[in-house]
Amino acid sequence: MYLVGKINVISTLPEKFKRLNDIAYNLWWTWNSEAIDLYREIDLELWQKVDKNPVRFLQEVSQKKLQAKLSDEEYLSRLDKVVASFDSYMSEKNTWFSQNHSELTDKKVAYFSAEYGLSEVLPIYSGGLGVLSGDHCKSASDLGIPFTAIGLFYKQGYFSQRINRDGWQETCFNDLNISQLPMLPALNANGEQVRISITFAGRTVYAIVWKVQIGRINLYLMDTDVAENSPADRSLTSRLYGGDQETRIQQEIFLGIGGIRVLDAIGIQANVFHMNEGHSSFMGLELIRKLINERHLNFNEAMEVVANSSIFTTHTPVPAGNDVFPLFMMDKYFGDFWGQLGLSRYDFLELGLKNPEDQNFNMTVLALTLAGRKNGVSKLHGAVSRKIFGDVWPEVPEDDVPITYVTNGIHTLTWLSPKIKALYDKYLDRDWQKKIYSEETFANVNSIPDEELWATHVELKNKLITFIRNRLKKQKLANGESMEAVRQVDNFLDPNALTIGFARRFATYKRANLIFRNLARIQKILNDPERPMQIIFAGKAHPADGPAHDVIKNINDIAKMEGFYGKVILLENYNMTVARNLVQGVDVWMNNPRRPLEASGTSGQKVCINGVINFSILDGWWCEGYNGENGWIIGDESEFDNENIQDNTDSESIYDTLEHKIIPLYYNVNENGIPTEWVRFMKNSISSLSWNYSTDRMVKEYTGSMYVPAITGNSKICDDNYSLARSMCGFRSHLNSNWHNVQLFAEKSAGDLKYYKTDSCQEIYLSTTVCLGYIDPSNVIVEVYYGTLSNGKIENAQTAEMHCDEKTGEGTYRYSINLKIFDGGEYGYTFRITPKHEHLINRFDTGLIKWIR
């Protein structure tokens, strides 16, 4: 048969249903289950067939089904209610941001990320980083932040995963059909689709821009699949994290430099620029270039402006998570760029070198160099980041390295089961959804009757098991397994057995198969006839990560063994659909990364809102969240030099905690079959964690500690034709030129250390002579730096500012302090000087620090 052509017939919506189309093109529906119900109830079979995509659903739904719903008064009433809710949300002026920062509502935050996990319908994410970005956008919308997101459109998304019959991961890529996605062309002032271009090593590459509506905010995605480009360039943005380093650097140039050009083309004048991970670091270079060209600033002045308006969030302590490019590649793509900045090649490359000997340009270092405000994504990760990147500020003590933290969260309504939400609607305050970030919001969780919470959990667990069985049957059929093997799936998983979930990227440091380190012991635990247990795994390995593929193969092989078959499940193609079912339906969420390599770990935050309990290594967010009554820990905070010993110790902790704490608690039920102590843990998990580990709390924190200060700083630095930027550059230049003359002197006893012996709480008079040369005392802080001594080194350091007593000579001064130390012990102390200026974002960012020698 010869195909002459194709005809695409789009269903015509009755006037009453026109608003369903508006909602379909706004991802607000992804966190409003009542909206989703409106589509699925028209034609459930079609809804499942189109993978729960409302845009495609409305294109394919039959006129007959639509007409039938027109006579359903109850349905029409709910439709009106959802439409009213949507319109009210979109037109709301009295948002959290407008209430708390009314003077800043005309300002704008631009957010850059390489991936966005907004919905499985738009698969342009690979894992936690993308889902965090998506959840960040949703809470920015909920809170009314003036927020615009920038990213790339990956036509093939991240890969789909198959686990073949032998247990090996196979990767599949398929083109997304743009016409069926919830995104529209981004239009410029002339009503034309926005188009930008980038010059790569002598050739020009073009991109068109798409708009994704996320509640009140917009995400703009660049797409190089346009006719003007060569075939290779058309596929440049096809795959997330695909291709070689050439592809990666070109994608990141588009994300950073192209992202700024998208904002310009649309007419968005951002005041704050937030780099989510180092992929978008080239953004800062483009901002500097624009300031030099358009505002006639020099490089240092432009860098001052960019520092005041830029924020950088690092998400990983794992070296592979920090993009680096060889210097020859930087020469290839930026050989004509550093001249536009007024820099030499050496000075340009130095912006991204961790130390002068490096032969790779580090995108994280570039972001740390350019951004004035920097953070990790948990308290522990902030500390780890200060240690890893301390080389960027070589003289600065680790605790003072200018990287703070904002602990990650999750968008509550995206991950909350509608069944649990119904309980919250019933027992929490009426407006609880508008105050998810408040601890008081979840204070009434204990008023939910145990039997209701447990019955809802059991219902969700049964739903999960049905979901898994259906997926496993399709998986086995696709692998050509026998019908007998397919039928056996109906006996997989016991609804009454303790069920553990483990799902995340299968990077090796996450140790997915740690629980199988002692096979005989875990087999015994799984098969206790009185107290059985089962484990569900899901996750993708990066296509190039061979050891991670081996982990998947290992778990698959174990799942087929006697004693494990039907009790250990490995699901393929982990995505947001699988994640949603798992975090809502398992009993326990297990996480056992190799400490301290888990930056935050948001999957465990998704379970607590659903009453699932965490069982985790004290890493990432769990260090802050665990309180002894809301979950369990694996191991302790010990540091290990030997990974084998660490794995043995942690696996033994898993077995001991399961046998002696978790399993007995789960099976200790009352006369009504309810495990009341377990339910108490569920409620503690909800009440202690849900509010604090939401992106509502997280975005509020970013707003207060990052966005608002950046808006204020940007406004000041740009006022009066950038006079403050020029003044600050003069200040920095003066310091840099004279800092080599700064010295400190202290009295010593015959060449030995000064020694004091005193009672606690008694004052000790300490003094030092400081030579400042041409630097004014008002421009420095002189401090005593002290702490307990261990092996001759100061630990648990504290500082106290000293006072200038007198000028002792030309450019020399005496500083002193009466220091009180309250706790007994042996202490060490020294003196240091750092710069001081009211407009310095962080005095340690300058890298200028002098210690007594």
Distance of CA 482 to the CA centre of its chain: 42
Report the alpha-carbon angle 582-587-592, nearest 5: 75
Please, are residues 757 and 359 in contact by the beta-carbon 8 Å criterion? no
Q: Which residues of 673-689 are buried (b: 16+ CB within 10 A; e: fewer)?
A: ebbeebbebbbbbbbbb
Spell out the alpha helix ranges (H) of 276-417.
282-295, 299-309, 327-334, 345-350, 363-370, 379-388, 412-415
* Arithmetic mean of pLDDT over the chain: 95
Q: How far apart are CA 308 and CA 315, in angstroms?
A: 21
Domains and CATH numbers, the chain: 15-91 (no CATH), 96-408+700-723 (3.40.50.2000), 427-693 (3.40.50.2000), 742-851 (2.60.40)
AA letter at 262:
V
* Tokens (6 digits) for 829: 């102390």
Share above pLDDT 70 across residues of the chain, in percent, rounded to a whole number = 99
Q: Residue by residue, what is the 3-state secondary structure of 445-489?
A: HHHCCHHHHHHHHHHHHHHHHHHHHHHHHHHHHHCCCCHHHHHHH
User: Strand ranges (DSSP E) for 32-172?
Assistant: 109-112, 147-152, 160-163, 169-172
Helices (H) and strands (E) in the chain, counts: 31, 28
Using DSSP's 3-state secondary structure scheme, residue 71 falls into coil
Residues 6+ apart with CB under 8 A from 801: 781, 782, 783, 817
Please, are residues 817 and 831 in contact by the beta-carbon 8 Å criterion? no
DSSP 12-44: PPPGGGHHHHHHHTBGGGGG-HHHHHHHHTT-H
Please, are residues 459 and 419 in contact by the beta-carbon 8 Å criterion? yes
Q: How far apart are CA 594 and CA 50, in angstroms?
A: 39
Q: Residue by residue, what is the 3-state secondary structure of 593-632?
A: CCCCCCCCCCHHHHHHCCCCEEEEECCCCHHHHCCCCCEE
Q: Which residues of 603-641 are buried (b: 16+ CB within 10 A; e: fewer)?
A: bbbbbbbbbbbbbbbbbbbbbbbbeeebbbbbbeeeeee
Q: How far apart are CA 394 and CA 298, in angstroms?
A: 26
CB atoms within 10 A of CB 765: 9
Please, are residues 675 and 454 in contact by the beta-carbon 8 Å criterion? yes
pLDDT of residue 758: 80
Residues 6+ apart with CB under 8 A from 69: 17, 41, 42, 75, 76
pLDDT of residue 752: 62
Looking at the DSSP assignment, which residues form a beta bridge with residue 792? none
Using DSSP's 3-state secondary structure scheme, residue 789 falls into strand
* Tokens (6 digits) for 42: 């028209």
Q: What is the pLDDT of residues 814-830, one digit of tens each?
A: 999 999 898 888 899 99
Q: How far apart are CA 529 and CA 821, in angstroms?
A: 60
Using DSSP's 3-state secondary structure scheme, residue 766 falls into strand
Distance of CA 379 to the CA centre of its chain: 14
Q: Are strands 360-362 and 324-326 parallel, antiparallel or unpaired?
A: antiparallel
* Tokens (6 digits) for 719: 């006022």
- Write the CA distances from 205 to 232, 278, 702, integer angstroms: 10, 22, 35
Q: Which residues of 444-464 are buried (b: 16+ CB within 10 A; e: fewer)?
A: ebeebebeebbebbeebbeeb
Residues 6+ apart with CB under 8 A from 209: 185, 186, 193, 194, 195, 196, 220, 221, 222, 223, 262, 265, 266
Question: How high is the mean pLDDT in each 10-residue block of the chain (853 residues)?
Answer: 75 90 98 97 96 96 93 96 98 96 96 97 94 98 98 94 94 93 95 95 95 98 97 96 92 98 97 97 98 96 97 87 92 95 96 89 96 97 94 93 97 98 96 94 95 98 97 95 95 97 94 96 97 97 93 96 96 96 98 93 96 97 96 91 94 98 98 97 97 98 97 93 94 95 77 73 91 96 94 91 95 94 90 95 94 87
User: Of the candidates 522, 682, 684, 683, which has an alpha carbon nearest to the alpha carbon of residue 589?
Assistant: 682
Angle between helix 576-585 and 450-478 (nearest 10): 140
Using DSSP's 3-state secondary structure scheme, residue 127 falls into coil
- Write the CA distances from 308 to 31, 178, 284, 411, 838, integer angstroms: 34, 38, 11, 28, 13
Q: How far apart are CA 117 and CA 124, in angstroms?
A: 7
Q: Could you say which DSSP state residue 193 is in?
A: B
**pTM above the 0.85 mark?**
yes
Looking at the DSSP assignment, which residues form a beta bridge with residue 193? 187
* Burial class of residue 543 (count of CB atoms within 10 Å of its CB; 0-12, 13-18, 19+): middle
Please, are residues 149 and 220 in contact by the beta-carbon 8 Å criterion? yes
pLDDT of residue 750: 44
Longest Cα pair distance anywhere in the chain, in angstroms? 102
pLDDT of residue 687: 97
User: Which helix (H) or strand (E) is 373 found in, with range?
Assistant: strand 373-376
Q: How far apart are CA 517 and CA 534, in angstroms?
A: 16
User: Which helix (H) or strand (E) is 655 found in, with range?
Assistant: helix 643-657
Residues 6+ apart with CB under 8 A from 337: 285, 289, 348
Please, are residues 272 and 108 in contact by the beta-carbon 8 Å criterion? yes
Q: How far apart are CA 715 and CA 840, in angstroms?
A: 14
Residues 6+ apart with CB under 8 A from 522: 515, 516, 655
Please, are residues 717 and 725 in contact by the beta-carbon 8 Å criterion? yes
Q: How far apart are CA 617 and CA 622, in angstroms?
A: 7
DSSP 554-569: HHHHHHTSTTTBTTEE
744-749: long-range pairs with CB below 8 Å, 24+:
744/768, 744/769, 744/770, 744/771, 744/782, 744/831, 744/832, 744/833, 744/850, 744/851, 744/852, 744/853, 745/769, 745/770, 745/771, 745/852, 746/831, 746/852
* Tokens (6 digits) for 700: 């509020």
34-39: long-range pairs with CB below 8 Å, 24+:
34/78, 34/81, 34/82, 34/85, 35/82, 35/86, 37/78, 38/75, 38/78, 38/79, 38/82
Q: For tokens 């968008």, what's the residue?
A: 411
Please, are residues 605 and 408 in contact by the beta-carbon 8 Å criterion? yes
Q: How far apart are CA 210 and CA 221, in angstroms?
A: 5
